[in-house]
Structure 1
Amino acid sequence: MIFGTLRHHDTESLQQAFGPVSAGVQEALDWAAGHDLAALPCGQHAIDGDRLFVNVVEYETKQPEERFWEAHKAYLDVHVTISGREQIDMNFLGNLACGVYQPEGDFQPADGGKNASVMMQPGDFLVCFPQDAHRTAVACGGKPETVKKAIFKVRID
């Protein structure tokens, strides 16, 4: 996982903090920083066919027990918060009980406890790799609020 802010999304800043990042992740972050994400309607938006696209979503955060764990094998997720705050719980797939992978939706269900959490605020980003199970839309401090975010999908080649 990589947790950062779009204020420091440039290649040099990312390399200093995390080492080399994939060209697709850098492209997603550059696209996010160079566009008015708040103006995008909810739904899927093409950037480069099925290699790179963004899903804009809006939802109400909930209690952890009302949310589910997921991971992906075909795509990396780059979550970028547009408005609101949410907690994203993290754990490694190897620490969780995994269900049957669903290739049609690139969805790996999992179950178990969290290892860490990040508190996402507007302008923050979180990159989730295939081993990074994540439980999104968790209310910060137990207080539900509306979140709008962009989830960039970067195909793993």
Structure 2
Amino acid sequence: MIFGNIRNLSEYSFLDSQIQECFAYAKEHDLISFEKGSHEIDGDRLFVNIVEYTTTTPEDRFWEAHREYLDIHVMLDGPEQIDVNFIENMKEEEFQPEKDFLPLQGGANGHVVLDAGDFLVCYPHDAHRTAVKVDEPKLTKKAIFKVKIQ
């Protein structure tokens, strides 16, 4: 996992070029004006999902991880808490390859709070539970870049 803010991208020059491509796209496009849904950037190699939802309690959310894609969460309007752990610490359920979705059971060993401009990069070993409220439920909007693992 890598947590940061797009204002400080010069500190992350070591990141893979495909991740850098996502940040460049985010800076060059007004993502907050994008409609909810999936937006193709480069076929199935790279696309962005725009999501909008009201945050809630951890008990009302689910744990997930992915095997074929990196997730790069970029908060457009928040806040949102994302609980984190490693899949090695979780109980894995049946992987759903058509959705690249690995459901998990377990608890958090940490969390991050994303506000506008913050990002979280989740690799295949990173379990995450999104849409957790900070203080009280709030409507949020986020871009989730999906980068196919080569």
Is the contact made by 1:9 and 1:30 (CA closer than 8 Å) also made in structure 2? no
CA distance in 1, matches of 2:69, 2:86: 16
Q: Letter of the 1:153 partner, please give it.
A: K
CA distance in 2, matches of 1:84, 1:95: 28
Superposition TM-score, scaled by structure 1 size:
0.93
Q: What's the CA shift string for 1:73-125, capped at 9, x where partnerless? A: 00000000111210000000000001011100000000111011000001100
CA distance in 2, matches of 1:47, 1:8: 24
CA distance in 2, matches of 1:103, 1:74: 9
Q: Which residue of 2 aligns with 1:37?
A: 31
Q: Does structure 1 residue 80 correspond to structure 2 residue 74?
A: yes
Q: Which residue of 1 aligns with 2:20?
A: 26
Q: Which residue of 1 aligns with 2:64?
A: 70
Give aligned pairs, total: 150
What are the equivalent positions in structure 2 for 1:122-141 lying under 5 Å apart? 122-141=116-135
Q: Does structure 1 residue 54 correspond to structure 2 residue 52?
A: no
What RMSD in Å do the two structures reach over aligned CA positions?
0.8
Superposition TM-score, scaled by structure 2 size:
0.98
Q: Which residue of 2 aligns with 1:118?
A: 112
C-alpha displacement of 1:137: 0.1
Give the 4+ runs in structure 1 shifted more than 6 A. Answer: none
SS of alignment partner, residue 107 of structure 2: coil
Identify which of 77, 85, 110 aligns with 1:91.
85
SS of alignment partner, residue 137 of structure 1: strand
SS of alignment partner, residue 4 of structure 1: strand
The percent of aligned pairs where both chains have the same amino acid is 53
Q: Does structure 1 residue 152 correspond to structure 2 residue 145?
A: yes
C-alpha displacement of 1:132: 0.3
CA distance in 1, matches of 2:134, 2:142: 15
